[in-house]
Amino acid sequence: MRAMNLVAVAAVLMSGLSTAAAAAEPDGKALYARRCGICHFADGGGTWMLERRLGKGQALLESRADLQAPYIRLIARRGLNGMPRFTRVELPDSDLEIIAAYLTRSGPRP
Amino acid sequence: MRLILPPGMKAAAFDRARQALRRVVGAQWVLDTDEDRETYIDPYAVGTGAAHAPSGAVAPASVEELQAVLRVANEFRLPLWPISRGKNLGYGGASPRMPGTMVLDLGRLNRILEVDEKLGYCVVEPGVGFFELHEHLTKNRIAMEVGIPGNGWGSVLGNALERGFSFRGDHSESICGLEVVLPGGELMRTGMGAMKNGVTWATARHGFGPSWDQAFVQSNFGVVTKMGLWLHPTPEEVITLRVALDQPDDIGWYMDALAPLRLRGVVNGNVQLTTYMMTVIDSTQRADWYQGRDSLPDSVIARIRAERGLGWWNGTVRVAGYADVNEGNLKRVQAALSKHSGREYPFTRTLSAQTPSRGPTVGPLKVANWYGGRGGHMSFSPVVPAVGSAVVAQFQRTRARYIEHGIDYSSTWYLNGRTVTNINLLLTNMDDADLTARGDRLFHALVKDAAAAGYGEYRTHLSYMDEVADTFSYNDHALRRFNERVKDAIDPNGILAPGRNGIWPAAWRKERGKV
């Protein structure tokens, strides 16, 4: 089961890369998959820890409607519990803004 | 984090150096806000991380910019700490050894320059991660694989320079040909790459005269900007035996049974054996099992094992290659094991044509959450002879120390053939000062014990580099004197990674031992 999920994550990572649109104009969903997905998709360590702290409904970041951009920026740069910090080389401000916009988008959640 | 200057450096000189660096790489790539500094602090530091706090980071986008950065560093005597992607987690992350050192972040040099499927190698820059290389191989249907460590988040090149390993063995042994910027800024290529048009740079291990590739591994003699790395042909079939051993001392016969087969290539990957920990971290934390402050009692370990169906030791043996050859090798492995255990072990067969190879993961990092709070981990990693009695003695000695210090024992053993590398996890909650202090005392005791037995560590965290280097003391530290004579000759200003692996340049030598 775990191996299958890892393959699924890899497939999502790759699908995010393979679209021409992703290269030309960074897409929030694809960037989120690439930068955050390995820990914050289902079965990821981040999802698991969020579920333990906040409950199942709050575990998947993509499904949440209560996140705010300043908080996302803060956690990305400062880390939280077991989550390491991201430098501006690994995750430039421009990419972080796109990811924050994706996670705080209006509309229905998966 | 507030600015900490390199020892002895004046604020005015530091500011002039920063301005000069901005002119080289552009203002946005000198990362020196308080928040920037924080992002380069080791997330699993012993204490606050201040002992290894950088003064900032500079991120060149090309070899030419890097050369210019080194010239600025020499002009202002600004120490630099090169990182590839900074994911040396458990060993210091992106942090420098000496506080105030500026991180030289090579993450923007991130091209896969070449992959040759026929000859089985790639040439990569420091910023290329395992995810990117694996994706490149998969997307282009290249039937080659790269050895991927437990934490697959990091750099392919950086991991090999740290002697990271996987079931493929020590990744530094796959290095073939480097491009290096020397501390003064001069560009050099090793091996056949030293020719103007060296065609076999990444395929012939040696050029003419001394071989220097390994001199840039775990050292501070240059900044590696390109690396030739041998890839592994995707096997036709992989057979994976799953082994569970019931008693702690079973590890002895197990190593004796498999070491000859590993040496002869019957088992063609490192044999891995680990405690219950790496399984239970997937879905539980310590508090789910036990609340005591002492080391996990045997009764709790027994309950974990019973509920999860685990052995005291759990592992895999990998037989990979052509299916008909595998068949004979599998029989030899089963025979060697059943001679001791009286049973055959379950196994799975995977045909590479039908199942994509498993890619990188960061799953094992979950282990940092074991104690809760701000989780952290370090590794104590001695290299032991592949002899059962020696392995059992080292295991018993180590576990006794864990119990004495009230820390949960968790370790993995990788049988390489002639040696076994033993990765012992020191897990902590950084919000628990007492636990962290006990972990620190445990580490010191383990280094001392291993040294007394004649075993050195293959790699260590920044905070223990001097201590581990000090155990390599033959002839009153002749090797250290040699390393530092080389260091002083090629880096007279001592600007590159002072203190890395216990090698201190004259300019900062008085900093040795300070953490």
Tell whether A53 lies on the interface with B, counting CB pairs under 8 A.
no
On whether residue B53 sits in a domain, the answer given is: yes
In chain B, what residues touch A48 (CB-CB under 8 Å)? 283, 366
Domains in chain B, number: 4
Chain A: nearest CA to B133, how far in angstroms?
12
Residues B372 and B430 in one domain: yes
Chain A: nearest CA to B87, how far in angstroms?
9
Residues B331 and B408 in one domain: yes
Among B148, B282, B348, B361, the strongest candidate for a mutation testing the A interface, having the largest count of A CBs within 10 A, is B361
Mean pLDDT (chain A) is 80
Q: Is B110 helix (H, G, I), strand (E, B) or coil?
A: coil
Taking Cα atoms as reference points, which of B185, B148, B184, B190 lies closest to residue B165? B148
Residue B101 DSSP code: P
- Identify which of A14, A18, A87 has the shortest CB distance to residue B105: A87
Tell whether A4 lies on the interface with B, counting CB pairs under 8 A.
no
Taking CA atoms, what residue in A is nearest to B376? A82
Among A6, A48, A87, the strongest candidate for a mutation testing the B interface, having the largest count of B CBs within 10 A, is A87
Residues B317 and B440 in one domain: yes
On whether residue B157 sits in a domain, the answer given is: yes
Contacts of A13 (CB under 8 A, 6+ apart): A33, A34, A37, A38, B131, B135
Taking the C-alpha atoms of residue A9 and residue B357, their distance in angstroms, rounded to an integer, is 14
- What type of residue sits at position B173? E
Residues B434 and B491 in one domain: no
In chain A, what residues touch B366 (CB-CB under 8 Å)? 45, 48, 82
Taking CA atoms, what residue in A is nearest to B374? A81
A2-103: what fold?
Answer: Cytochrome Bc1 Complex; Chain D, domain 2 (1.10.760)
Asked if B41 and A85 touch (Cβ cutoff 8 Å), the reply is yes
- Cβ atoms within 10 Å of A68's Cβ, excluding its own: 11
Taking CA atoms, what residue in A is nearest to B373? A81
Asked if B160 and B169 touch (Cβ cutoff 8 Å), the reply is no
Chain B: nearest CA to A103, how far in angstroms?
22
Interface contacts A/B by beta carbons within 8 Å: 82
Handedness of CA A108, A36, A51, B284 (dihedral sign): positive
Taking CA atoms, what residue in B is nearest to A14? B135
Residues B205 and B307 in one domain: no
- Identify which of B35, B358, B373 has the shortest CB distance to residue A3: B358
On whether residue B265 sits in a domain, the answer given is: yes
Which residues on adjacent β-strands are paired with residue B56? Answer: B102
Taking Cα atoms as reference points, which of A105, A104, A98, A109 lies closest to residue A31? A98
Cα angle B427, B419, B235 (rounded to 5 degrees) comes to 90
Task: Give the model's confidence band at A25: pLDDT under 50 very low, under 70 low, under 90 confident, else very high.
Answer: low
- Identify which of A45, A78, A90 has the shortest CB distance to residue B362: A45
Contacts of A102 (CB under 8 A, 6+ apart): A28, A29, A31, A32
**Helices of type H across B77-205:** 130-139, 156-161
CATH code where residue B471 lies: 1.10.45.10
Residues B424 and B501 in one domain: no
CB pair distance less than 8 Å for A79 and B363: no
CB pair distance less than 8 Å for A10 and B86: no
Contacts of B126 (CB under 8 A, 6+ apart): B82, B84, B85, B106, B107, B109, B110, B155, B157, B158, B224, B225
- Identify which of B283, B358, B368 has the shortest CB distance to residue A6: B358
Taking the C-alpha atoms of residue B290 and residue B367, their distance in angstroms, rounded to an integer, is 16
- Considering B105, B137, B159, which residue would you say is the last residue of a domain? B105
CB pair distance less than 8 Å for A2 and B374: no
Residues B375 and B308 in one domain: yes
Contacts of B255 (CB under 8 A, 6+ apart): B386, B387, B388, B391, B413, B415, B420
CB pair distance less than 8 Å for B39 and A18: no
Determine the structural domain holding residue B216 and report its residue range: 112-230
- Cβ atoms within 10 Å of B185's Cβ, excluding its own: 16
CB pair distance less than 8 Å for B359 and A3: no
Taking Cα atoms as reference points, which of B1, B157, B168, B154 lies closest to residue B89? B154
Taking the C-alpha atoms of residue B378 and residue B432, their distance in angstroms, rounded to an integer, is 15
Residue B221 DSSP code: S
Between these two residues, B314 and A23, which has the higher pLDDT value?
B314
Residues B420 and B338 in one domain: yes
Taking Cα atoms as reference points, which of B181, B155, B184, B195 lies closest to residue B63? B181
In chain A, what residues touch B362 (CB-CB under 8 Å)? 38-39, 45
What pLDDT tens digit does each residue of chain B (515 aa) get? 789 999 999 999 999 999 999 999 999 999 999 999 999 999 888 777 889 999 999 999 999 999 999 999 999 999 999 999 999 999 999 999 999 999 999 999 999 999 999 999 999 999 999 999 999 999 999 999 999 998 889 999 999 999 998 888 899 999 999 999 999 999 999 999 999 999 999 999 999 999 999 999 999 999 999 999 999 999 999 999 999 999 999 999 999 999 999 999 999 888 999 998 878 887 899 999 999 999 999 999 999 999 999 999 999 999 999 999 999 999 999 999 999 999 999 999 999 888 777 789 888 888 888 999 888 889 999 999 999 999 999 999 999 999 999 999 999 999 998 999 999 999 999 899 999 999 999 999 999 999 999 999 999 999 999 999 999 999 999 999 999 999 999 999 999 999 999 999 999 999 999 98
Give the model's pLDDT for residue A26. Answer: 67
Residues B315 and B427 in one domain: yes
Chain B: nearest CA to A85, how far in angstroms?
5
Whether residue A22 is predicted with pLDDT greater than 90 in this model: the reply is: no
Residue positions counted in chain A: 110
- Identify which of A6, A38, A89 has the shortest CB distance to residue B59: A89
- Considering B435, B459, B483, which residue would you say is the last residue of a domain? B459
On whether residue B3 sits in a domain, the answer given is: no
On whether residue B333 sits in a domain, the answer given is: yes
CATH code where residue B362 lies: 3.40.462.10
- State pTM to two decimals: 0.94
Taking Cα atoms as reference points, which of B271, B272, B186, B191 lies closest to residue B230? B191
Pairing of strands B223-230, B175-181: antiparallel
Chain A: nearest CA to B166, how far in angstroms?
17
- Cβ atoms within 10 Å of B38's Cβ, excluding its own: 17
Give the model's pLDDT for residue B453. Answer: 98
Give the model's pLDDT for residue A16. Answer: 37
Taking the C-alpha atoms of residue B152 and residue B167, their distance in angstroms, rounded to an integer, is 13
Among A36, A78, A89, the strongest candidate for a mutation testing the B interface, having the largest count of B CBs within 10 A, is A89
CB pair distance less than 8 Å for B359 and A52: no
CB pair distance less than 8 Å for A82 and B105: no
- Cβ atoms within 10 Å of A75's Cβ, excluding its own: 15
On whether residue B5 sits in a domain, the answer given is: no
Catalytic (active-site) positions of B: 91, 458-459
- Cβ atoms within 10 Å of B16's Cβ, excluding its own: 15
Tell whether A74 lies on the interface with B, counting CB pairs under 8 A.
no
On whether residue B4 sits in a domain, the answer given is: no
Taking the C-alpha atoms of residue A75 and residue A46, their distance in angstroms, rounded to an integer, is 12
Half-sphere exposure of B195 (CA within 13 A, CB side): 12
On whether residue B402 sits in a domain, the answer given is: yes
- Considering B48, B76, B105, which residue would you say is the last residue of a domain? B105
Question: What token pair was written down for B34?
Answer: 């308080």
